[in-house]
A and B are shown apart, each in its own frame.
Chain A
């Protein structure tokens, strides 16, 4: 290539456009790659080292320990199954995120079917239903703690006792078994509006003539739901389920604020946090987060595969 042609290439419209594009995107790229991608890779490195508070300032010279962090976390914490109320962090995580997500999507489906009917005040009701999702996590978590309080003035225990379901107030958030149930209920309550919104958008796009044709054929409302609505929603339900599953699996705050991760609710994000910022064993913390990531990648592959396949279909 001669010098002139190189100059011409440098000044060509296309090259100028590409340079401008890189200039515009550099700040975002720097922040995202510097503060997300690089740390993510660095985390793998840390998980094979012994990093504590004392050598945190000199982390690049931390001693190599092989798979020691992994075997320790794996055998003693993540997969150590005792019984149904003490399942080990990885299994707790999976149970918690699957059940909570299923409930959130089901509640979202019911809410969206109700709100898809025309009636006065529908818009206001739809906005109100979103409250639990948009409100700050700290405030709603503490209201739940206060409602579930085992004091006689705790609302839920009071109602349970008035209905003669229990005799004594139960410390619902600090009893093994109950705590996990409550955390799951909390998440179903908090995240159903997300599913509701997505399903509602899809419902409004369903071809009305399908229902008219079914009505002519004498289909009952249950049959219309089963044979028309549900097939039309199949794709959006799957996508919401996987997305919520990923997000719930990553959740730290909800459980941390409700139970502190105790009483059988210790999920992988909480375990990661405890290793790193309570015990200051960053190596084990990183190893825990890698176990979390591996499970997450499985979900992500499903998600991407699912979304891609359906985009091609449509």
Chain B
């Protein structure tokens, strides 16, 4: 008897609380959540499937076993069809880390000058740098390619298959947004502390090093992560400038695996998982710093 009244009251409770508005609210959230999360689940799950499961008569929702074959193929040198994916991860890191470090260093100096110092042409400089952020990368790649070919003819520096050249082009893409984000942040730091330090006899570089940088750490963290992400994800420039398989970055390597005459989706998905995981972890871990920069255009695209 008591059980029955209990049951009634639960239904009553739901009926009482569940209005049409609520129903649509939760249904809407569920639709969004499923459509965002499912592709990532599918990427992750597919990386553990066998070729038979991939090519079966119906989708396999959960792989029968957590098989690491695809990952073995990517990373284990003794596996047949070994892809040496570790080298590609290393190449991506070799490009993305220096890009992030240089972008933060250079844009700190530039943004400081724009915010704190008075000079002619300052607004023109800031505005034109911002405008560049709206420029398409595909427009610049032709003249860059021609220009660098010319430079290579004069100096003998190889421009294709040269990771430093790639870093340089990534800097050109990331510096505008780095400048923008940092100069916005510097404006929120009160100038009086710096004035006091200047009167005490510090020079400008000491002021930047001892006062501005420590105060700007949140902004520096988010700028370095954004520039890292841009370089880590970049496809077009790497695709055009890299020919040698030894130097392929992750995106180009995944594209190569996918376009294999007999593509194996489980390997593509495993490589995609390896590429996505650091980004997602980085983002989730540092979410607090990052969502603000995102609306400032941290990820162009």
Which residues of A pack against B, CB within 8 Å? Answer: 14, 17-18, 20-22, 24-25, 27-29, 31-32, 35-40, 42-43, 46, 51, 56-60, 110-111, 114, 117, 125-140, 142-147, 149, 151-155, 158, 189, 191, 194, 197-198, 201, 221, 243, 246-247, 249-253, 256-257, 269, 272-273, 276-277, 282, 285-286, 289, 292-293, 296, 300, 303
- Decide: A289 near B291, CB < 8 A? Known: A21-B122, A35-B168: no
B54 within 8 Å of A by Cβ? Answer: yes
Q: Tell me which of A35, A133, A194, A303 contacts B172 (CB under 8 A).
A: A35
The count of A-to-B residue pairs whose CB atoms sit within 8 angstroms is 270
- Decide: A127 near B134, CB < 8 A? Known: A135-B280, A286-B142: no
Closest to B127 in A: A304
Interface digits, B142-174 against A, CB 8 Å rule (1 contact, 0 not)?
111111011001000000000000001101100
Q: Are B171 and A31 in contact (CB under 8 A)?
A: yes
B76 within 8 Å of A by Cβ? Answer: no
B93 within 8 Å of A by Cβ? Answer: no
- A252 / chain B contacts, CB cutoff of 8 Å: 136-138, 236
Q: How many B residues touch the partner, as a band?
A: 35 or more
- Decide: A250 near B110, CB < 8 A? Known: A133-B299, A146-B265, A146-B269: no
- Decide: A139 near B275, CB < 8 A? Known: A25-B125, A35-B168, A129-B36: yes
Is chain B's interface secondary structure helix, strand, loop, or mixed overall?
helix
* 22 A-B residue pairs with CB within 8 Å: A18-B117, A18-B120, A25-B110, A28-B179, A31-B175, A40-B143, A46-B142, A57-B149, A57-B153, A59-B146, A114-B28, A129-B33, A129-B36, A134-B280, A139-B254, A139-B272, A140-B39, A146-B46, A152-B56, A250-B139, A252-B138, A300-B134
CA distance A285 to B292 in the complex (A): 37
Interface digits, B216-242 against A, CB 8 Å rule (1 contact, 0 not)?
000000000000010011011000100
CA distance A149 to B54 in the complex (A): 11
B23 within 8 Å of A by Cβ? Answer: no
Closest to A244 in B: B301
Q: Are B276 and A21 in contact (CB under 8 A)?
A: no
Q: Are A153 and B280 in contact (CB under 8 A)?
A: no
Most buried by A among B29, B36, B283: B36
B214 within 8 Å of A by Cβ? Answer: no
Say how far A130's CB is from chain B's closest CB, in angstroms: 7
Closest to A195 in B: B295
B213 within 8 Å of A by Cβ? Answer: no
